[in-house]
Amino acid sequence: MKTVIATDKAPKAIGPYSQAVKINGVIYTSGQIPINPVNGEVLNGDIYAQTKLVMENLKFVLKEAGCTWQNVVKTTCFLDDMGNFTAFNEVYGSYFTSEPPARSCVAVKTLPKNVLVEVEAIAICE
């Protein structure tokens, strides 16, 4: 049975999608971008600040689903510029201090709302 995961501690979905979906103990999150969940505004910071907000938003979605970073088995990361990879990786790595998940990281032409970074995750939480 599919369960929709939603929390007000992360940005509300701005389209026809859910923050996350849980089915058979697997959590699939939608991509998180650096939107402040309180005021709905995009953070106009550098890659460090935007990545931190993305990871915090993702953390709250995972928490609502009953998961932690340790439950994450795969992430997909989108950057607006691979020139930001080292800085992104520094912040991202601080959230996965042991046994990091598998990951894909790609540069894309444009991200929603012209942000610098977006991250989605798959986690296993029974």
* Neighbour count for residue 64 (Cβ, 10 Å): 18
C-alpha 16/C-alpha 48 separation (Å) is 29
Catalytic residue among 67, 77, 105, 125: 105
The answer to whether 27 and 5 are in contact (CB under 8 A) is yes
Alpha helices in 14-125 (DSSP H): 47-64, 85-93
Mark whether 105 is an active-site residue: yes
Determine the number of helices (DSSP H) and then strands (DSSP E) in the chain: 2, 6
Positions marked active-site = 105
